[in-house]
Copies of this chain bind each other. A is one copy, B any other.
Amino acid sequence: MTGNAAPGNRGNADRRVRRTRTAIRRALMELILEKGYEPVTVTDLINRADVGRSTFYAHFTDKQAVLFGSLEELDFLRASPSADGPLFAFSLAMFEHVREQRRLVRALLGRRGGREVVAHGERLLTAAVRDELLARGAAPSAHLDLVVTCVVGAFMAMTRAWADDEIVATPAELNTAFRATVVPGVRALLERDPGHRPVG
Interface residues of A (CB under 8 A from B): 111, 115, 119, 122, 142-143, 145-147, 149-158, 161, 166-169, 173-174, 176-178, 180-186, 188-189
Contact = CB atoms under 8 A, between A and B. Distances in A.
A184 B186 CA distance: 9
A153 B157 contact: yes
B150 A158 contact: yes
Interface of A is mostly: helix
A167 B178 CA distance: 23
Nearest to A151: B181
22 contacts: A142-B167, A142-B169, A142-B173, A145-B167, A146-B169, A146-B174, A146-B178, A147-B180, A147-B181, A150-B157, A150-B177, A150-B181, A150-B182, A151-B181, A152-B157, A154-B157, A154-B182, A156-B157, A157-B157, A182-B185, A183-B185, A184-B188
A87 to B, nearest CB: 12
A174 B145 CA distance: 10
Nearest to A116: B111
A167 B154 CA distance: 17
Nearest to A168: B142
Contacts of A150: 154, 157-158, 177-178, 181-182
Given A122-B157, A149-B157, A149-B167, 10 more contacts: A115-B115, A142-B167, A142-B168, A142-B169, A143-B180, A146-B158, A150-B177, A154-B154, A180-B188, A181-B182
A157 B152 CA distance: 8
Given A157-B157, A158-B153, A169-B142, A147 B185 contact: no
